[in-house]
Amino acid sequence: MIYRLQADGLAPIAALPAARGEKALAIYSFEELERAQEELGLAAGLAQVCLNERVTKFESHPGFDFMTLNIPGQDEGEPPRRICIYLREGVLAFLCGTPQVAQAVLAPFQAIESGRLTLEHLLFHFFQSLTGEDAGKLEVIEQQIEELEEALITGEKENCIREIITLRRRLMRLKRYYEQLLAICEALEENENGLLPQKSLRYFRMMTGRVSRLCAAVLNLRDYVTQVREAYQAQVDINLNQIMKFFTVITTIFLPLTLIAGWYGMNLKMPEYGWAFGYPLVILLSIIVVVLCFIHFKKRRWF
């Protein structure tokens, strides 16, 4: 999909305009990568970079800038969206992983006011669309962490390690994404090739500030999750200590009884064996030992 930027909006055209001064927006899927190479003059190495899903970077080449992004999915198992951006004088091109992603990239551009259709504004609008709703999404994550913390405190949940791990993974993905996006925005702000007008650089300074704040918010949320995990671990340790204290008290109570049983279990002739009240006396002694141990532990608040 190739469009000429006109005063009244985007006009579809068959090929990139050859006339100097005309501006065009091109959106390709990776299925059209060969066509994009031919029309944009992309080197084979850059085409391979598009297909390498692990690479996210900004490259400034003579006469053009080339950026690659991996945009994380909304859900846990959703794969990231792969988008590459090519910018030269008069041409802004997006190379998208699938036709569906290409349609999603085009949709925000069609809603832009016709008087603001410039390449730099389209590029800024694209980055703005990536982060426009992220502050609200981070608030939702923060609310999830708060609810998890409250559930731990009130005892509604006893085992929440899976939720903590899921939140940490999600925040780590967002952290990597915002760090990469921040690096690209800072590189655009430097404008090494001079492809962006000086007056439009303020838009990208605004974008850099926004992404920086989002990155800081993610780091704060990650610290919050870490605190919740530590609180959960402390609660687990407390419960374990309570169990160990209970078994210690039980063991301590039965130690004197074990001594009595061992003493009277010896194969020796003892005077108590011939006494009619010997057996009841041993029973009474055992009961007294248990009661005294119980009173002693209760006063020391061991249980």
In 3D space, the residue among 120, 48, 39, 115 whose CA is nearest the CA of residue 84 turns out to be: 48
d(CA 179, CA 95): 21
Predicted TM-score (pTM) of the model is 0.73
- The total number of residues written for the chain in this structure: 303
Residues contacting 193, CB < 8 A, separation 6+: 60, 61, 62, 63, 64, 65
- Residue by residue, pLDDT tens for the chain (303 residues) are 787 777 677 777 777 766 667 788 888 888 888 888 788 887 777 777 777 777 778 888 888 888 888 888 766 667 788 888 888 888 888 888 777 887 777 777 766 655 567 788 888 888 888 887 888 888 988 998 888 888 877 777 767 788 888 888 888 888 988 888 888 888 888 888 888 888 888 888 888 888 999 999 999 999 988 888 888 877 777 778 778 878 888 888 788 888 888 877 777 677 777 777 777 888 888 888 888 888 877 787 766
d(CA 99, CA 83): 11
d(CA 70, CA 81): 6
d(CA 61, CA 47): 14
**pLDDT at residue 68, rounded to an integer:** 87
In 3D space, the residue among 16, 39, 33, 58 whose CA is nearest the CA of residue 180 turns out to be: 58
Domains of the chain: 1-116 (3.30.460.20), 239-299 (1.20.58.340)
In 3D space, the residue among 221, 127, 133, 136 whose CA is nearest the CA of residue 172 turns out to be: 221
25 has which bridge partners?
Answer: 3, 92
**pLDDT at residue 219, rounded to an integer:** 92
d(CA 81, CA 101): 7
**pLDDT at residue 216, rounded to an integer:** 92
Residues contacting 249, CB < 8 A, separation 6+: 297, 302, 303
Contact 83/96 with Cβ under 8 angstroms?
A: yes
**pLDDT at residue 75, rounded to an integer:** 67
**pLDDT at residue 19, rounded to an integer:** 62
**pLDDT at residue 220, rounded to an integer:** 93
In 3D space, the residue among 110, 68, 92, 84 whose CA is nearest the CA of residue 16 turns out to be: 92
> Which one-letter DSSP state was computed for residue 266?
S
